[in-house]
Structure 1
Amino acid sequence: MGAVTRPGIAGLTWSALQVLTSGGMDMMELGRTGTRVSRLALGAMQMGGATSEADAIRILDRYVGAGGSFLDTADCYEWWRRVGSRGGESEELLGRWMRAGNRRDQVFLATKGSAVPEYSPALWDADGNPDWDLARRTFAGAGADTLRHALDASLRRLGTDHVDLYYVHVDDLSTPLEETLEALAGLVSAGKVRYLGWSNVRTWRLERIRQLCERHGWPAPVALQQQHSYLRPKAGNAAAGIVGPEQWEYLRLHRDLQLVAYSPILKGIYDDPAKRSGHWMMESYEGPDVDARLAVLGEVAAEVGATPNRTVLAWLLHQTDPSVIPLIGPKTPEQLDDLLPALDIKLDAGQLARLEAAGA
């Protein structure tokens, strides 16, 4: 898809804006689309929920000021923060921020659909804690009408006529893929979506999706948003949303599918051994491989004068086979400030080789 002209800064096209915003953060091509985005993406999941509006605006302004352009949200963010919420708070906040500064055409905007659970008072207990088991059983899914209505609602909240990237947030095994893909193709044809993506999906499903798109002439996904970090998932890990060896190899062979890595620093556990101990995020990684990886990470971090969290981000930014776009989700402006220096960390070939080879 070529350059799209949208109302914005002096009527500039997205391609022209890419040139203007590439002075700070490095830019890279998204898959094989020809569209360039910043190497570091910013997740807005907590904005409007755990992160106050004032802090969210500071984070967004600092990220864009540093040359960032790739914003990520979803229609379900953050329903679990408030009893009775139906999600959408993050999208609404981003919409206000973009309107206030006429910023829509300064950013590459991604959102997601399919993961809002069916409303029920039982989604929260008496203390306001979410029931994730119930939520996962009642996700909206990726039916054609569901996605069309979900996207229209997202566009209203975001205050825009299109998003640059639209993901199926949670792979829906109960809806025929043909139904989902034909509906998504219609959203692209209508100009409401530029590119498509998928998240939390197994490799065999990705291949099936790509085959169906090729057969029917539907637009194929160009982005895969999965959990990916320096620690490797333990043997037998069954999570569909974590990149394992098979999926990594698939991405190496299909370079038109861009990996966008969520939770790249695993909630910040690399900097804090006490936080790692018993943290739920570690359940997918525990084992002898972890200690070996962390030991080498600590050595390299000391050599480059950086924290382990920053070094992990730098390692991800150095990946080329395949390339990775880390998706950070700072809760506070201070957390963003702590992570941005990772952009300037240079790892030499020897350090990269040691980091890659580390493990049990």
Structure 2
Amino acid sequence: MAHMTTNTTKRIDSLARYHLLGRSGLRVSPLALGTMTFGTEWGWGSPKETAHRLLARYLEAGGNFLDTADGYTGGTSEEFIGDYFAKQGGRDSAVIATKFTINTIPGDPNAGGNGRKNIHRALEASLRRLKTDYVDLYWLHAWDGITPLEEVMQTLTDLVSAGKIRYLGLSDVPAWYFARAQTLAERQGWERVVALQLEYSLLERNIEREHIPAALELGASITPWSPLGSGMLSGKYTREGLTAKGEGRLPAIQGGGNPGLEKLFTERNWRIVDTLLEVSRELDRSPAQVALAWVARRPGVASTIIGATKLEQLEANLHALDVELPPAQAARLEAASRPELVHPYIFFEDTFYSGGMFSGGTSIRAEPTWFRPAAR
């Protein structure tokens, strides 16, 4: 694809059009820099020098939202971020988000999960690595299925009161869990959840059934992770049967038993990739840019997490917000990737409504826009 800005010292206006995160006053860039690739402990990723160049370019372009976790590359990701701001300054201008839940001390049952003891342990360790005394957004990394929700919300509220975190978010939780958290927060006067971090892409749209409607109703933003489907939507892979072939980490890690990766390799998903490639050629844009542009404009989405291991890759992704999706191409992507209609949502199809089942045959009815969101 020929269309790509090569001036890597230029501020990108579309990146600096900040969005409010949920019902809060926190302003974040529409693209967040994911730093799971900071460090080489997992056999892929970026050494410190490269990571710092990526971070510098993102900030220089107008971005301000950094996403990391205590479990990323054994804590190296947080260390790289802390080292950068300790050397370059500017920490207070950045919105730094990190996470807890993942057990980082094998053999210690309280060094993981979402209990109060681990939340405090994890936060103190993250603050040391980040070389800061507060975190702007603290994510619960994943539902542990055990810890009472009241304990989680009270603990995070206390940390806001103590000044150690500014806002709180939930990642990879059931929609009912978020809804209960937000409702309890309203009732008890606890800190509200400002954002949900969930997988969302042309290949993974299941959150449109319940999570996005809940977020829109209850005042939280969506912060998608893996908007490129673990790289499958990047355009750099071809299919071999149902598996991926090409230069990159996806072929190397497929077949490893990770359910989040193994679900990718289906005939349906390869058909979505084919449609994406057709649309990207018509628009003279890279498949990655088109896929990111699609996600970033979905209802409820405030900031989409992008990652990169090379500067040119980051630069191309940062310009995804400049991509305009004409109605015809947007409709083709929508049709190719639309989630299966399952119970009970099958009852909410327009044909069922138009039959007057709930309206007594009258023409007055509420449009169920929450069920199948249209692109903005």
**Residue number in structure 2 paired with 1:69:** 64
1:273 to 238, 250, 259: 238
1:101 aligned residue:
88
Aligned to 2:161, which of 189, 203, 217?
189
More helix by share: 1
Partner of 2:210: 246
Letter in 2 for 1:284: K
Show CA shifts across 1:276-310 (max 9, x none). 72554553245454244333322221121012111
Structure 1 CA distance for aligned equivalents of residues 214 and 183 of structure 2: 14
The answer to whether the 8 Å contact 1:75/1:150 transfers is yes
Q: Which letter maps to 1:96?
A: D
Asked if 1:34 is matched to 2:25, the reply is yes
2:185 to 186, 190, 213: 213
In the alignment, structure 2 segments of 5+ residues that lack a partner are 1-10, 245-250, 255-259, 339-376
Residues of 2 paired with 1:103 and 1:286: CA distance? 42
Determine helix, strand or coil for the equivalent of 2:185.
Answer: helix
Label 1:286 to 1:88 Cα distance change in 2 as closer, same or farther (>3 A). Answer: closer
What SS does the aligned partner of 1:88 have?
A: helix
The alpha carbon displacement at 1:182 in A equals 0.9
| Aligned-partner residue type, residue 92 of structure 2 | D
Please show how residues 135-284 of structure 1 align to structure 2 within 5 Å. 140-232=112-204, 243=207, 245-254=209-218, 256-270=219-233, 271=235, 272-274=237-239, 277=243, 280=254, 282-284=261-263
Letter in 2 for 1:75: D
- 2:49 is aligned to 54
Query: Contact 2:30–2:304 at 8 Å: present in 1 too?
Result: yes
C-alpha spacing 1:58/1:162, structure 2 compared with 1 (3 Å):
same
Residues 309-328 of structure 1 mapped to structure 2, 5 A cutoff: 309-319=288-298, 321-328=299-306
Identify the residue that residue 353 of structure 1 maps to in structure 2. 331
- Relative distance call for 1:284 and 1:138 in structure 2 (3 A) is farther
Gaps of 5+ in 1: 1-20, 79-86, 121-134, 234-241
Matches within 5 A, 1:123-134: none
- Answering whether residue 115 of structure 2 is matched by residue 115 of structure 1, we say no
Shift of 1:106: 2.0
Alignment of 1:325-344 (within 5 A): 325-344=303-322
**Partners of 2:33 and 2:175 in 1: CA distance:** 25
Asked if the contact 1:163–1:194 (Cα under 8 Å) also holds between the matched residues in 2, the reply is yes
1: distance between equivalents of 2:38 and 2:337? Answer: 36
Distance 1:217 1:292, change over 3 A: same
Q: Which moved further from structure 2: 302-311 or 343-352?
A: 343-352
TM-score (norm 2): 0.75
Matched-pair contact (CA < 8 Å) for 1:75–1:116: no
Contact 1:310 1:339 survives alignment (8 Å) = yes
Distance 1:97 1:314 in 2: 29
Moved more, 336-345 or 306-315: 336-345
Cα offsets for 1:231-280 (capped at 9, x unmatched): 136xxxxxxxx7352223323433x2111111111222121224872554
- Give the number of the structure with larger relative contact order, counting CA–CA contacts within 8 Å between residues 6 or more apart: 2
Query: What is the identity, as a one-letter code, of the residue corresponding to 1:283?
Result: E
Shift of 1:160: 1.2
Distance 1:117 1:244 in 2: 32
Aligned to 2:35: 44
8 Å Cα contact 2:31/2:318 also seen in 1: no
Any idea what SS the aligned residue of 1:243 has? helix
Paired letter, 2:332: R
- The verdict on how the C-alpha distance between 1:261 and 1:213 changes in structure 2, with shifts beyond 3 A counting, is same
Show the 5 A alignment for 1:282-301: 282-301=261-280
The one-letter code matched in structure 2 to 1:277 is T
Shift in Å, 1:328: 1.1
C-alpha contact 1:232 1:244 (8 A) present in aligned 2: no
Q: Which amino acid aligns with 1:265?
A: L
Render the CA deviation track for 1:45-91: whole Å, top value 9, x for unaligned: 1213331000001100111111111001111111xxxxxxxx22111
Alignment RMSD (CA, Å) = 2.4
Paired residue for 2:371?
A: none
Larger radius of gyration: 2
Instruction: Measure the CA separation in 2 of the matches of 1:289 and 1:216.
Output: 45
Aligned length: 307
Contact 1:96 1:158 in 2 (8 A): yes
Once the two structures are superposed, residues 101-156 of structure 1 have per-residue CA deviations (whole angstroms, 9 ceiling, x without a partner) of: 11202211101111134325xxxxxxxxxxxxxx9x98701111211121122112
CA distance in 1, matches of 2:166, 2:138: 8
Matched, 1:307 2:286: yes
